[in-house]
Amino acid sequence: MYKILEKEKLNDLVELMVIHAPFVARKCEPGQFVILRVDEKGERIPLTIADFDREKESVTIIYQILGYSTKLLSEKKVGDCLQDFVGPLGKASELKKHKRVLGIGGGVGAAPLYPQIKKLAEMGVEVDVILGGRSKEFILLADKFEAICNQVYFATDDGTKGKKGFVTDLLKELLNSGNKYDEVIAIGPLLMMKAVVDITKPEKIKTTVSLNPIMVDGTGMCGGCRVTVGGEIKFACVDGPDFDGFLVDFDECIRRQGMYKEEEHICRIGLGGV
pTM value? 0.86
Could you tell me the domains of the chain? Answer: 2-89 (2.40.30.10), 100-257 (3.40.50.80)
Question: Strands 183-187 and 100-106, how do they pair?
Answer: parallel
Q: What angle do CA 207, 197, 10 make, to 5 degrees?
A: 80
In angstroms, rounded to a whole number, what is the distance separating the alpha carbons of residues 14 and 60? 13
- pLDDT, tens digit, 9 for 90 and up, residues 50-70: 999 999 999 999 988 888 888
What confidence tens digit (pLDDT) does each residue in 123-179 have?
999 999 999 998 898 899 999 999 999 999 999 988 898 889 999 999 999 999 999
Q: Which tens digits make up the pLDDT trace of 21-43? A: 999 999 999 999 999 999 888 88
Is the distance from CB of 112 to CB of 48 less than 8 angstroms? Answer: yes
> Average pLDDT, stretch 71-80?
92
